[in-house]
Amino acid sequence: MQLRLARNKDGNQIINLIKRCFKDYKNCFLDVDNDSPELRDVYSYFKNKKGKFWVYVDKNKIIGCMGYLPHEKNNLEIHKLYIDKNYRMKGLAKKLILRIEGIAKKYKKRKIVLWTDTRFKEAHKMYLKMGYKKSNKTRRLHDISDTVEYNFIKELR
């Protein structure tokens, strides 16, 4: 298994990964054109916004992904953390989060923020275990999945 920076040509595989992940949740759908067009040119999108996006690859198949972007004054925001069902609970998501935490500390960022679908209870447990706090903020995306998201924050020292 290899962790590497995503390439623009990875878009279709990343989209398929997220679609596979969404199948585990009732009424959860990916509408790339309206909600996530950046996935088609993921490398360029994140690079142009001064962030990065990684993928895990196993046997030429993308089985995990996550990116980050600068957020507000001195924070980073995690984006699109997904791990294929067959590869979960093996520490892959944790390694990605620790990578971003290392980057945040290196550049003296104050906190890391993320938004996660209220249905993703497995992910919520992991974030809490890793020291992220669920804030009181929620947001409704008004998308085809009628997504409501929780906000998690980790203060860095």
**What does the pLDDT read at residue 116?**
97
Whether pTM > 0.75 for this model: the answer is yes
Contact 43, 15 (CB under 8 A): no
- Report how far apart, in Å, the C-alpha atoms of 31 and of each of 18, 20, 39, 57, 87 are: 11, 13, 11, 23, 24
**Alpha helices in the chain, H assignment, sequence order:** 11-22, 32-35, 42-48, 92-106, 121-129
Looking at the DSSP bridge assignments, the partners of residue 64 are 56, 83
**What does the pLDDT read at residue 126?**
97
Mean pLDDT by 10 residues, the chain (157 residues): 96 97 94 94 97 97 97 93 96 96 94 97 97 97 96 94
How many residues does this entry show for the chain? 157
List the domain boundaries for the chain: 2-155
Question: Reduced to 3 states, what is the DSSP secondary structure of residue 144?
Answer: coil
**What does the pLDDT read at residue 157?**
79
* Residue 98, phi then psi, degrees to nearest 5: -65, -35
**What does the pLDDT read at residue 52?**
97
2-155 is classed CATH 3.40.630.30: yes
**What does the pLDDT read at residue 82?**
98
Residues 6+ apart with CB under 8 A from 66: 53, 54, 78, 79, 80, 81, 82, 93, 96, 97, 100
Furthest CA-CA distance within the chain: 41
